[in-house]
Structure 1
Amino acid sequence: MKKLYATEEWKRRSSKRSLRTLKRKRKSCKYSGGKEEESKEKSEEKRNSKSARASYENVKKRKGRIEIKAPANFSLINNIDETLLFFDTVHYYSTKNQQKIYFDLSEVKELTTDAILYTLSRLEYYHERRVNIIGNNPNDETCDNMLLASGFYKYVYSQRVGKTPSDSNIYSIESGSTVLPQKAQEVKNFAARCLNKSDLSDTRSIYTTLIECMANTKHHAYAARSLHSKWWLMASYDQNSKKIHFTFLDNGFGIPRTIRKKNTEKINEKLREMVSKVVAVESLDAILINSALKGEFRTQTSKAYRGKGLPRIYETAQQNKIDTLVIISRKGFVNSSSREVRPLKRIFYGTLLSWQFL
């Protein structure tokens, strides 16, 4: 697999194929990235933003800016409801005001890699829409050092760019738009060094899992309205548990919007959309994610050789090569290790995969 993805011929053919596919899908409104899907996206954003404004209390209106305080436990894995409420509140004020938005991270006591990557994803979204966002650093020394070591400041305008400390226990943030075998190999080498594993076969699952994530991003995640895909990757080693934590994020439409649905599911979805305008209705996104994860035939292309990425990752988890596999996308949260499949109250934009290497 390594040789296949590393060849220049494969990269060239893959790029051309992806470009042709995206151009073709642009012409079809039936595709999840078409006009109909964009309309759904805007409607959901509007509903979520309104409810966020009414629910979130940590907002202060200063002269010339809106200050929004991040939760003390700034984590999607451990505190997803409050963290998504924070981001929804930011989104509301980004659409209603011409003032600056101030990310107040000063009281963050717990910070995880998933929250760091999602913050970057949303900041890029607002940057493209010319929303002026500034912010501060966590007062907590551990959180502040983690944010520095992660390489976060390389991706935003900051005076702290040159102050990034080296931390041998953190593989700093990398991003890309295609399958990058060299980055997957770097992460594999990072894991082998941290865990003192000289046998390459022990860490092979890391390489293959990351390649599958990158390939999924290229083939499935992105709307026809854009020809540019984007993913972020980060890893960290916990000396106490002796485990390496991996986080992979893409900012596409998400798994529930890009998989093939059965006719009954489509009808159910339409009914839920109509009812949700009047009363709160639980989303089916978590069930769809779990279905795609377990390998049910869900690829939109209807080709049997596609849609294998998530099932392969799930198979790796079932073989106990990775642990605590969590997937968050749209309004769905799935933890394959604890078998938790639950709907979310708010939208997570994109798809996040988080897991630990044993």
Structure 2
Amino acid sequence: MKKLSEKHKKHLVRASEREMDKRIRKNTKRNRLNKSRLGYYVLCSPGVLSLMRRQSRSRLIAFTRSIHKLVNKGKRRIWLDFSDLNEVVADGMIYLHAELSRLSRVVKGLQFRSSPPSNKTVGQVFNQIGFSKVINCKIGVSPECNRKDVSTWLCAYGEKVVGEKCGGILDYYQGRMADSLTRELFRGMTEAMTNSYHHAYIKERGDSLRHIDYYKPWWLFSQEVDGKLSVVLCDLGLGIPGTIPINNPGLMRKLKRFFGKDLTDSVTIKEAIVNSKTRTHKAYRGKGLRQIVETINNSEDGKISILSNKGCYTHTESGETNLTDYPASIGGTIICWQVSLPVESVDVNAFSDDEAVLY
């Protein structure tokens, strides 16, 4: 066997020392993490946050239900591990944001701590919409990870509507939303948010959490970029299929007679849009969803998706409509829509670099 030179021996020794240092740092980090988790119940998030992909939807809802189960058992220290999370879609992100924000608001003494996502883009999303504060997680994002498709998303949150007319809701919220939403052009969106307050929370949600009469929240993501306005609105009320029997019992009886056992949540959403009726019996209420669909029909490249309980209704500007039903319910309603903005509505300076953090 060939004898090793002194230079080669020193190289092997240094390589061995580097490997040993690496293992020590790794074990130290793991031990520090395990020590910080003491006293917490650990739950691992799914790899994708999405509500329209069947498998991802099932895993996301199972994740939120696991959190609810721990809370209902009296557990108040929960550690959420997001290290394997690699992709977030707006509908899934706002759903998880809403669920955890509501738990933090309603459950006394609840403490969330979290492991940050390994994916830097996902970490930027968490910071951008304020989710990192909800889960009590410090996430450092380097400047090179500052992606435009993330930094232009804005997040707003509100608990009640002030004033009779539908425009009043825009004056009472926390966070920020795209400028175009405050214009008359998108009055239908404002009306949909008003419906979230007046219709969605007419009864308890039924998830065993403490019910607060005045707590009727909504969450909204909005983005105005490259001539397009994208909006995602979420409430955690009864859902459209749950409110129809109360708001419009006559319509529900007709649907049951016509569809029988084939009546699904997606069909109920579609019929609710066609047969909009206000519970408050006021002319300017109860047409929000229909107004949004009409806006989509008149817009180039417009699209709307309404997820409510187990159903999903999707409609495009070409008139194409798709209905989908899933096994698990989200226990609420999420409205996602996108339209092209008129030329005069596009503001190329709408977002600056100093707007990376919402609140």
Query: In the alignment, which residue of structure 2 is the partner of 1:284?
Result: 264
Q: Tell me the distance in 1 between the aligned counterparts of 2:97 and 2:178.
A: 24
**Superposed CA offset, 1:33-77 (max 9, x none):** xxxxxxxxxxxxxxxxxxxxxxxxxxxxx8643332222121224
| TM-score of the pair, normalised by structure 2 | 0.63
Query: In the alignment, which residue of structure 1 is the partner of 2:27?
Result: none
Query: In the alignment, which residue of structure 2 is the partner of 1:189?
Result: 179
- Please tell me whether the aligned partners of residues 261 and 298 of structure 1 are also in contact (alpha carbons under 8 angstroms): no
Query: In the alignment, which residue of structure 2 is the partner of 1:293?
Result: 273
Query: In the alignment, which residue of structure 2 is the partner of 1:253?
Result: 238
Query: In the alignment, which residue of structure 1 is the partner of 2:194?
Result: 215
Q: Which of 304, 310, 318 does residue 297 from structure 2 map onto? A: 318
Deviation at 1:351, TM superposition (A): 1.3
Q: Tell me the distance in 1 between the aligned counterparts of 2:66 and 2:263.
A: 20
Could you say if the C-alpha distance between residues 76 and 256 of structure 1 is closer, same or farther in structure 2, counting changes exceeding 3 Å?
A: same
- Residue 333 of structure 2 is aligned to residue 351 of structure 1: yes
Query: In the alignment, which residue of structure 1 is the partner of 2:25?
Result: none
- Residue 122 of structure 2 is aligned to residue 170 of structure 1: no
Deviation at 1:292, TM superposition (A): 1.4
Deviation at 1:309, TM superposition (A): 1.2
SS in 2 for 1:348: coil
Q: Tell me the distance in 1 between the aligned counterparts of 2:323 and 2:65.
A: 22
SS in 2 for 1:98: coil
- Please tell me whether the aligned partners of residues 116 and 147 of structure 1 are also in contact (alpha carbons under 8 angstroms): no
Could you say if the C-alpha distance between residues 342 and 298 of structure 1 is closer, same or farther in structure 2, counting changes exceeding 3 Å?
A: farther
Question: Any stretches of 5+ residues in structure 1 without a counterpart?
Answer: 1-61, 192-199, 273-280
Could you say if the C-alpha distance between residues 227 and 266 of structure 1 is closer, same or farther in structure 2, counting changes exceeding 3 Å?
A: farther
Could you say if the C-alpha distance between residues 149 and 163 of structure 1 is closer, same or farther in structure 2, counting changes exceeding 3 Å?
A: farther
Could you say if the C-alpha distance between residues 162 and 104 of structure 1 is closer, same or farther in structure 2, counting changes exceeding 3 Å?
A: closer
- Please tell me whether the aligned partners of residues 113 and 135 of structure 2 are also in contact (alpha carbons under 8 angstroms): no
Q: Which residue identity lines up with residue 299 of structure 1 in the other structure?
A: T
Show the 5 A alignment for 1:63-78. 64-78=39-53
- Residue 106 of structure 2 is aligned to residue 121 of structure 1: no
Deviation at 1:155, TM superposition (A): 4.4
**Superposed CA offset, 1:144-196 (max 9, x none):** 11211222234454445999998764233111132433589x744379xxxxx
Aligned residues: 272
- Please tell me whether the aligned partners of residues 196 and 218 of structure 2 are also in contact (alpha carbons under 8 angstroms): yes
Deviation at 1:304, TM superposition (A): 5.9
- Please tell me whether the aligned partners of residues 175 and 231 of structure 1 are also in contact (alpha carbons under 8 angstroms): yes
Question: Any stretches of 5+ residues in structure 2 without a counterpart?
Answer: 1-36, 162-167, 204-210, 341-359
Percent of paired sites with the same residue: 24
Q: Which residue identity lines up with residue 180 of structure 1 in the other structure?
A: I
Q: Tell me the distance in 2 between the aligned counterparts of 1:133 and 1:283.
A: 39
- Residue 236 of structure 2 is aligned to residue 236 of structure 1: no
Q: Which residue identity lines up with residue 262 of structure 1 in the other structure?
A: G
**Superposed CA offset, 1:85-127 (max 9, x none):** 3222322333236363322211111112333322222113322
Could you say if the C-alpha distance between residues 123 and 161 of structure 1 is closer, same or farther in structure 2, counting changes exceeding 3 Å?
A: farther
SS in 2 for 1:119: helix
SS in 2 for 1:228: coil
Query: In the alignment, which residue of structure 1 is the partner of 2:79?
Result: 102
SS in 2 for 1:357: strand
SS in 2 for 1:347: coil
Q: Tell me the distance in 1 between the aligned counterparts of 2:287 and 2:67.
A: 36
- Residue 306 of structure 2 is aligned to residue 327 of structure 1: yes
Q: Which has the larger radius of gyration?
A: 2
Could you say if the C-alpha distance between residues 95 and 267 of structure 1 is closer, same or farther in structure 2, counting changes exceeding 3 Å?
A: farther
SS in 2 for 1:300: coil
Could you say if the C-alpha distance between residues 303 and 148 of structure 1 is closer, same or farther in structure 2, counting changes exceeding 3 Å?
A: closer
| TM-score of the pair, normalised by structure 1 | 0.63
Deviation at 1:297, TM superposition (A): 4.3
Could you say if the C-alpha distance between residues 247 and 305 of structure 1 is closer, same or farther in structure 2, counting changes exceeding 3 Å?
A: closer
Query: In the alignment, which residue of structure 1 is the partner of 2:112?
Result: 133
Q: Which of 111, 126, 129 does residue 147 from structure 1 map onto? A: 126
RMSD: 3.7
Deviation at 1:314, TM superposition (A): 1.2
SS in 2 for 1:249: strand
Single out whichever of 140-149 and 110-119 deviates more from structure 2: 110-119
